[in-house]
Structures are given as C-alpha cells and as structure tokens.
A and B are shown apart, each in its own frame.
Chain A
Amino acid sequence: MTTYRIISIIGIVLTIGGFVYAARKHQGMWEGFWKWLNQQTKQTLTALGHLGSLSFADTMGIIRQFLFLLTLLAVVLLALTGFLPVVIAGQHVTGILLIIHAITAPVFAVSLALLILASAHAHRFLEEDWQAVRAIFSREMNSSHAQRSQFWQKICFWLLTFFAIPVIASILFSMYPVIGTEGQEYLLQLHGYATLFFTIIAVIYGYYTVTATRSA
C-alpha cells in the first residue's frame, strides 16, 4: 500500500499541477469550465423533461449529456471516497465513505458503460485525426488547436474505456469465491492502479473537453 500511496500522490500532484499550469496558460479556463458545467447541467435537466418532443438525434444527445454528467458526478464521489482514506490516511475505505463508495459504484458502472456505448462512434478515429498525429510528430502547426484537442480527447476516451474494464472487473471478480487471498490482493492493487490512471485520464479528458469547447 505504501508504494501505491507514493505513486498515487505523485500522480495526483502532477495532475493538479498540470491543471493549475493549464488554467494559468488559458486565462478564464476554470471559470469557463464551471460555466460550461452549469450550463450543461441546466440544459440537460430541462431537456430531460421534454424528451418526448425531441427528435431521436436530439434525444440521444441529451441522454449522452445526462450520462456524461452522471458519470462525472460518480467519478468525483468515487475518487473522493476512494482516494481520501487510502492515499491520505493510509487506511482501508470503511464507514460512511465505504457506504457512499459502494452505492455510487453501480451507478458509475451503468452510466459509464452506456456513455461509452453512446459516445464510441463519435470518438472513432477519422482522417483528420491522422493529420493531427502527423502535425504532432512533425511539429507542424497546420492543424487547428481544436483538431488537436479533439484528437487527444479521443485518445483519452479510449484509454478511459480501456482502464474502465480493470476498474470494474477487479471488483466484480473479488465478489465471487473463485480467487484466493493473493489473487484478492492483486485485484485490490489492480483496482487501485487502474482507478488512479482512470481518474488522471478523466481529468485530462475534461481539460481537452473544455479547451475543445473554447476553441470551437
């Protein structure tokens, strides 16, 4: 657990540091993010009441937004209840934090799975993404900032999808009487590290979502 705590602290500090750096670089990003989140939440909640009057595409858009917000909320709750006791206090998740963690977990699993299902197509790699890759490696600036943000957003999306599997499956397998003590220990570590990477990537994904929105 000590190694995990050290790596987690380094990862979290670097992520927060990067976020602060980015916020300074892009003036008003932080305010923009909250404004965007607030706007999205209001818009989604309002639209959810009128789903019947919307077209199928609009309905799906609203559902995607709803799932995104729900997943975001779940990630925040799970990260707080998971990381705080383990990383800060060096203890297992227990008490009220465990209850919140356990109640939020299935919400997260369902909303994330549906969000991935609904968003995968939009995050498929296209011809312009190849241009963004070439631009990154050749340091050419002929691709727009929005294009590059979208590319990184897609990378983050598929990494999130990849890490979501060990995050959820590690707990799934630990609930069945098929894996012994050492396996349980391994699953717990897998859950911890996968969650750490998932959370860091989710923050980066959020950053590119905001910058892509601002660029657009």
Chain B
Amino acid sequence: MIKPHVIRSFVLGVIVLCTYSTASIAQTQDTTKLGDGFDGNRANPVHLIKLYDDQGDLVTPHDQPLMPFSTKQTCQECHNYNTISQGWHFNYLDPAVPAGRPGEPWVLVDRKSSTQIPLSYRPWRGTFDPDSIGVSRWEFVQNFGRQLPGGGVGENIDPETPDIYMRWLISGDLQINCLSCHDAAPDHDEAEYALQTIRQNYRWAATATAGFASVEGAASDVPDDYDLYRGTVPDDPNVIPPTVHYDSDQFDYNNRVFIDIQHQIPANNCYFCHSSTNLEKSMFERWKSDQDVHLTSGMTCVDCHREGLDHNTLRGYEGEPGRQGDPSAESLTCEGCHVGDNSDDIPHNGRLGAPKPEHKGIPTVHFEIMTCTACHSGPRPQQVTQGVKTARIHALGLKGTNKSPDVLPHVQYPVYVQGEDGRIAPHKLFWPAYWGFMEGDSIQPILPKVVTPIANDILVGDTLKFTSWPPMSKDQLGQILTALSEQAPAGKTPVYIGGGKLYQVAASGEVTEREDAAAKPYSWAFAHDVRPANQALGVRGCDDCHSVNAPFSFGKVKVDAAVMTDRGATVSMASFQGLGTVFPRVFAISFLFRPWLKVITLGATVLITAVLLLYAFLGLARIVKVAGSDNS
C-alpha cells in the first residue's frame, strides 16, 4: 500500500511541474526576445542564423533524414512568434479582432457546378465563414494555402477525421512563412511555396522558397502510414516522398546560413499575393500600364502599410478600427498624409514629402461623401466596367496558372459603391453563384463536391474546353434543382443564386426567378494603383463625373450570370451609390446649365455691387458736400 505522504509528494510534484511548465510556456509567449527590440541602429541586421526543424533540433546539411527548417522554431530564437501570430495577416480566426471594412475574399470556384462563393473567416457582410458552410480547414488550406502567409488556419487545421489526421501528421502545420514577406533574396521563390501547399507539403513550404534549399516529392502522394522521420521508401517507385535538399556550400562552419531578411519589405514580396491586373490593358499590353505613383516615385508598400512587432499591419483607410486617436497611424492614410490637420501642435501630415493637393474648384462636399481613392485610384471608369484578375482570387503567379481572361470568377472594376462609412469608393465586384438549401430567408450554400456529380450528368459532359461558365439553360438548372431536392433536408428548398437572382423550382415544375438580397454582388474597396494627379477624376472639370453619360454615375456594371438567357445584362453604377436613380440623372442635367448659372451669378454680383457702390459714393458725396459747406 502506498503511503499517504508519498501520494502527497507525488501530487505536489505534479503541481510544481505543471506550474513550471505553464510559466515556461507563458515566458516563451510573452518574452521580448533579442530581435524584438530596436537598439536605435538603422542598419539592417544581418541574419546569419542556425536553422531548426519542427522538433527544435538543429538542421545541418548532412542530417539523415534531412528535415525542412521550421520558421517557428528558427525565428522564435530571436523573435516572439506568438506576438507576431496575432498580426493582421494571421489573426482572422480570432472573433475578438474587429473585421474592419470588407476586403478581398477568398473565392471557392468550381466551374463545372457554376459555383463561386466568397469566403472569409472575418465576418465581412456578403462572405461566408468556411467553417459554417462545411469547408474544412484542411480543405481551405488545400485550396488557398498557395497564397496564405501561413499561421492562422494553417496552424489550426483541426483535423476532423482520422483520414485527415493521418494526412496532417505527414503534411504538418502551415506555419507563418516569415520568408514570404521578409526574404529579399533574388532567388526567393514564392511560387515554390504555392506549389508545396498544393502538394500538401506544408511543413516543407517555407523551406522550399529559400534559395539554399529545394524540395521534391509530394506528401499527398505518400500513403497514410508514411513515416517522414524514418524516410520510409514507398512501395510505388513512382511516388516520391517529400524530400528537402540543402546547398551545403551555403552553410558555414557553424551550420549557419545567410537569409536576406529585410525589415523594409520589398514591394515584390507583397505583389505575390497582392497583385491585380487589368484584363483589357496590362494583362496583354503590359508596357501600356503604369505602377502606382507612390511606387514609381520610389516608395514601397510598407512605407504606408506599416506595422510593429505585433505585425498588425495598417490597412490605411480612414476610420480603421483601433487606429483612431493615434496620429502616427492616422497620418498614414491618404487624407492623413496628404491633407492632415494643421491645427495639431506637432504636424503629422506631409510624411515622406507627400504633396498637399489644392483641389481647386472642387466643393468640399466631395471629400465628405467620397474617398480620396474615388477620383485617384484604379483605372479611369469607362462606359462599361473592366475586367480584373487578382493574385489571390485567380491564383496569379503560380506555375501553370490559367492565363485566360475568361477564368472565373469574373471580377470587375472600378465600381463606385457607397461603403459602410457612407462614402463612395471604387470597388472590385463579382456576382456570387452557388447552389443552396433555403429555409425562410436563410440560404446554406451547397459545396461543389455535392453538386458537381449531379451537374456533370446534366450539363455538357466535357467542360474542360470552357474557362468561363459552362453553358446552362434554365431547363438544365431546373433539372439540377430537382435532383438536389432529393437530397434536401426536411423543410429546405434547393435554390440557385447567380447573376443577381434567386432561382427555384415552383410547385408547377417551372423554374422561377426573383431578385434577392442573397444574390447581391460582393464588392470590396481598393486603393491601388493610384494614378498621377493629372489623371484623377475631376481634373478636366465637373463633366468628368457630372455629365449625363459620365461613367462614374451612369457606367454599366455587367451582371455576370451562369444561366445563358441572363447573360449580357447590366445595371447602372448609380444603383450602388445610395443616391437613387433619379437624382444623379437630374443633377447631371443641371450641369448643362452650369455655364448659364455662372454668367447669371456673375452679372447679378456685378450689378448689386455697382448699385451698392454707387449709393455709397452718393452718400460720401453728400457728406463731402455737407462737410465742405460754408453755410453752417
């Protein structure tokens, strides 16, 4: 029998051990490390560093088996990884973080089932939370890991099934890839990172981007029981397990390698995930387009989109949550930098030599109902919106990306939309399309993996030749809805959302359609590329926006629809601006009479002034006469 004092000692020991462990973890999470502080020297610290793998073991080029280095283990030697992981690029799973204004979503696209669903873990209106519609985190990382910077969902894959758990044991976490942003080496290859995520080589992905390492093989190819630490050779000789090779010449005598880590991140690194290209101009005639004026003048993205150790990147728009009252943050918005508030004791505006615009002849109401970007950003509006591809939505920059301009989703810009702050700003926009089960006003999207097998049987067999929507008639749409109704949970009706409409099968068997809030397009404000001042809207006068056919108000926004009979429709830009349809038209017509108004008011001013002066002089003449009179 165990004596009580032994049990007490054991329990006490466990408590002490737990307390010590917890304290150690807390210390790891909160400690300011060597590289977290700034000693005042502006020179870039040279990163000649040792590499560590997932287990925290030193990586040398002669290890057997060779393991990829872990950014978490390697970088947290000198930097607080936990603090960094709460930054803007990684904190989207945290419901306590304010979502801010809607941004670019991830789009779950499946051409065969005519599906394009805007996704975001942030609660942006119009997007769907992947967790809530059945997109597992494993699937999310599979689909979008290519341009995720790691961390966030990549480190919270939360394997739901044994199958995925087994795969995750091999693939590992998609840790924050510090190199994505900070590695300024010319041989840093972010496309390689994307390729590794597609192969499920998550733990190898960051390593593969470095110039001194290369990765071959695919975790997705090896069997579930593959032991990566033993490097077991698969039975199938065609299967190459994920393997890393290091250039041993780049390791010094102390097993250190130089990584060109820069605090001042080059724009090129941001571009891999934050590029966009105009389908009518820069995509095919790149020499005809220009970069953002700020970059052309020698600035980089992080000159304005700054962050501290917390990596809480400034998004840079007025009213950004958590930034009010911080002059440094507020002065890094368009308005804060270029206009600012001169009444401050210490001026904060004009940073980096930002010129102050004069805006001659532009009534100040413009600055209250529109953002700076409305006139200065994106391409000048045309009668019909232009197509645009973005890096994250269209997987630009990857090896083998489909370069066709027709690739879904069809994103358009510039669309001038009244934002949540009540101001009109240029937006990118696309029309969501998905199958769903409707109950009341609520629609739960059905994922492509459910619809595609049905759609494949009903739509044209081989849709590979199409990059855009496959041909779908209303009859075919009705057939798919009818097939889905067999899988519909009780009380739920299958519907299709697309082209701004909601389609469903009526009791008569006929396909009915109506406008519905769920079918509204998803749009998000953009700020770049900023055009030169001489190409801003309004620089050529009021007619730039206030003429009867000005694209700003009366441009046509294409309604992108999968259903063939609904294709080609457009809606007026004014319908997105909260001004109704009559007012913009009447207001534009009033500008036809603006020259007359100028003449009339000028004439009236001259006449009234003349009469006032005349009688003032007559009064003066009387005073002079009285004052000079001899007769008292």
- Cβ B587 vs Cβ A158 within 8 A: no
Q: Does B602 contact A (CB under 8 A)?
A: yes
Question: Is B583 among interface residues, defined by CB-CB distance under 8 A?
Answer: yes
Residue numbers in B under 8 Å from A168 (CB-CB): 601, 604-605, 608
Contacts A113-B603, A175-B598 given; indicate if A92 touches B369 (C-beta within 8 A). Answer: yes
Closest to A184 in B: B364
A60 / chain B contacts, CB cutoff of 8 Å: none
Of listed A96, A99, A113, A178, residue having the most chain B CB within 10 A: A113
Q: Beta-carbon contacts of B341-377 to A below 8 Å, as 1s and 0s? A: 0000000000000000111111111011100000000
A165 within 8 A of B: yes
Whether A184 pairs with B590 at a CB distance below 8 angstroms is: no
Is B615 in contact with A120, judged by CB distance below 8 angstroms?
A: yes
Shortest Cβ gap from B35 to chain A (Å): 44
Query: What 0/1 readout, one digit per residue, does chain B (135-179) give for beta carbons within 8 Å of chain A?
Result: 000000000000000000000000000000000000000000000
Q: Once the chains bind, are B364 and A99 in contact (CB under 8 Å)?
A: no
- When distances are taken between beta carbons in the complex, the residues of chain A under 8 Å from B229 are none
B606 to chain A, nearest CB (A): 9
Tell me if A169 is interfacial: C-beta within 8 Å of chain B.
yes
Task: Give the residues in chain B near A181, CB-CB below 8 Å.
Answer: 339, 357-359, 362, 364, 367
Within 8 A of A (CB), among B571-616: 579-580, 583, 586-587, 590, 594, 596-598, 600-605, 607-609, 611-612, 614-615
CA distance A176 to B587 in the complex (A): 18
Q: Which A residues lie within 8 Å of B597 (CB)?
A: 102, 105-106, 175
Contacts of B607 in A (CB 8 A): 113-114, 116-117
Distance from A67 Cβ to chain B, minimum over Cβ atoms (Å): 12
Once A116-B611, A188-B363 are accepted as A-B contacts, the answer to whether A95 and B579 lie under 8 Å apart by CB is yes
Query: Given the complex, which residues of B lie within 8 Å of A171, measured CB to CB?
Result: 601
For residue B56, CB closer than 8 A to chain A, the reply is no
Q: Which of A109, A110, A165 contacts B612 (CB 8 A)?
A: A165
* Residues of A with C-beta under 8 A to B603: 110, 113
| A78 in the interface (beta carbon within 8 A) | no
Residues in chain B near residue A96, CB distance under 8 A: 583
The answer to the question of A125 belonging to the interface, with a C-beta cut-off of 8 Å to chain B, is: yes
8 Å CB interface, A172-208 against B: 172, 174-181, 184-185, 188
Distance, CA A188 to CA B367, complexed state (A): 14
Closest chain A CB from B625 CB (angstroms): 14
| Interface size class of chain A, counting residues whose CB lies under 8 Å from the partner chain | 35 or more
Known: A95-B579, A124-B618, A172-B598. A165 touches B608 (CB 8 A): yes
CB–CB B604/A184 < 8 A: no
Main secondary structure of the interface of B (DSSP, over half): helix
Q: CB-CB < 8 A to A98: which residues of B? A: 587
User: Chain A: which residue is nearest B600 at the CB level?
Assistant: A106
Instruction: Give the chain A neighbours of B609 by CB distance below 8 A.
Output: 165
| Bound Cα distance A96, B586 (Å) | 9
B344 to chain A, nearest CB (A): 16
Q: Are B604 and A162 in contact (CB under 8 A)?
A: no
B619 at the interface (CB under 8 A from A): yes
B359 and A180 form a contact (CB under 8 A):
yes
Give the residues in chain A near B359, CB-CB below 8 Å: 180-181, 184
- Residue on A with the closest CB to B622? A125
Whether, in the assembled complex, B628 has its beta carbon less than 8 Å from a beta carbon of chain A, the answer is no
* Chain B neighbourhood of A51, CB < 8 A: none
Q: Give chain A residues whose Cβ lies under 8 Å from the Cβ of B608.
A: 112-113, 116, 161, 164-165, 168
Could you show 27 A-B contacts with beta carbons less than 8 Å apart?
A92-B365, A94-B583, A95-B580, A95-B583, A99-B586, A99-B587, A106-B600, A109-B601, A110-B603, A110-B604, A113-B607, A113-B608, A116-B607, A124-B618, A161-B608, A168-B604, A169-B605, A171-B601, A172-B602, A174-B361, A175-B361, A175-B597, A175-B598, A176-B598, A177-B541, A181-B364, A184-B359
Given contact pairs A113-B607, A184-B363, enumerate 19 new A-B contacts (beta carbons under 8 Å). Answer: A94-B369, A95-B580, A102-B590, A102-B597, A105-B597, A106-B596, A109-B601, A110-B604, A124-B615, A169-B601, A169-B605, A171-B601, A172-B598, A172-B605, A176-B598, A180-B359, A181-B358, A181-B362, A181-B367
B contact set with A: CB distance below 8 Å: 339, 357-365, 367-369, 541, 579-580, 583, 586-587, 590, 594, 596-598, 600-605, 607-609, 611-612, 614-615, 618-619
